[in-house]
Structure 1
Amino acid sequence: MASSLAPSWHHQIADRVVYLWPLKAFGTMTFMVLFFWGYFTVLHNPLTPPLVMPVTWLDTWIGFSPSAFPAYVSLWVYVSLAPALMGNLRALRGFGLWMGGLCVFCLAIFWLFPTSIPPFPIDLNAYPEFAIIKGLDASSNAFPSLHVATAVFSAFWLNRLFGQIDAPRTLQWLSALQCSVIIWSTIATRQHVVLDAIGGVVVGAVFAALSFRQTRGVV
């Protein structure tokens, strides 16, 4: 009987989105500003010369695809969904702290063990949009892919959140699909190689598992 009186999943989503929305908006913006400050600081001050990551047969098979650009930049919307759907302050704080920990962990690796991708032959005059991401998300800071790690971390949290509000499994599958497309895009835009992406998947999954242990029952 209690379940029949519970708000529908779409009403729960609406309630969660408006809950503490100024804090969520300001917090997400501040987090991204601090992240990029740390990212570019490490990028321009590596401890040693970057090691060039090897290319595998999977990189050749996936190939370069200009159509991957929208998927690549969609990460910044995707990683904002989980905090937007948080229903209480403790969960929001836990997500932010663990996401921050993930970023600091990767930045520490980038500084201590810098890596870069090989110089892929991409005509930036033919694809001007790629000149933007090449300038913002340079070819260094390669392993593990922080792009992939944050996408995977967010995917696990979105899966958990959708389960909490009894949302249709379609939303969970769509989220997993979007995460997969983002992972593919990091390789297809030649911002990362396959080994970078695999490292990012591992880091994102491990940090998600650790964060769930600490925030069990508070989402």
Structure 2
Amino acid sequence: MNICYGLLNHGGSDVASLMTDLDKQIPFVPAFIVPYVIWYPFIFTILIVLFVKSRRAYYRTLLTLCLGLIGCYIIYYFFQTTVPRPVITSQGVFDSLVQFIYNTDGPYNCFPSIHVLTSYLMIKGLAACTGLSRTSQWLITLTSWSIILSTLFVKQHVLLDLIGAILLSELLTLVVDKWLLPSAEYGLLLQNKNVVK
């Protein structure tokens, strides 16, 4: 599904900006690029942890994540937004890393933020998963929120991108829990009974 991101990550004749005055007050902090770039390995790692610790939490989180990506791509297609980025003049390690991200990822596909959507879903998956130590829970939650906040401090997203992603996560989690996951569990139950027979 990530192929869709690249296909949609471009400007057009009608690109909106959701930046508010409050967003303009948020400083640019290059060091936040560190949690921003660990997003990929973090998401994969937590999905593996959920798979090992709780299959129900894993399938619930994975299904919601996939539906969230589809939802984001549909929104990007019909409502493309952009975020103005600062000009990088310093040559520090963090600044260079920010510039690399800017060069490889266009300033589009912003609302809602996929970084926020997936990181927030890891928090919700954690809440549904038993058997993790308090230290692990604390580290996962801290990392997730660090990634979410990083999107603001490296100027990849604005506040409405975060709000939209969290609301979409909550809505899709509700849909999965109420309509999709129960029927899937029922199918697995029948399958297991057939295997036993």
1:65-107 CA-to-partner distances (Å, cap 9, x unmatched) read 1110110011112211332121477765554333211101001
C-alpha change, 1:65 and 1:119, in structure 2 (3 Å) is: closer
How many angstroms apart in 2 are the aligned matches of 1:146 and 1:204?
10
Query: What percentage of residue pairs aligned between the two structures are identical?
Result: 25
Contact 1:81 1:158 (C-alpha < 8 Å) held by counterparts: no
Corresponding residue for 2:110? 142
Count of residue correspondences: 179
In the superposition, the TM-score normalised over structure 2's length comes to 0.78
How many angstroms apart in 1 are the aligned matches of 2:97 and 2:153?
14
Report the Cα offset of residue 169 of structure 1. 2.9
Corresponding residue for 1:78? 42
List runs of 5+ in structure 2 lacking aligned partners.
186-197
List runs of 5+ in structure 1 lacking aligned partners.
1-33
In the superposition, the TM-score normalised over structure 1's length comes to 0.71
Alignment of 1:119-198 (within 5 A): 119-123=85-89, 127-161=95-129, 164-165=130-131, 167-198=132-163
- Amino acid of the residue matched to residue 152 of structure 1? Y
SS in 1 for 2:20: coil
Alignment of 1:61-76 (within 5 A): 61-76=25-40
Root-mean-square deviation (CA), in Å? 2.6
Report the Cα offset of residue 150 of structure 1. 1.0
Mean CA deviation greater in 101-110 or 84-93: 84-93
SS in 2 for 1:44: coil
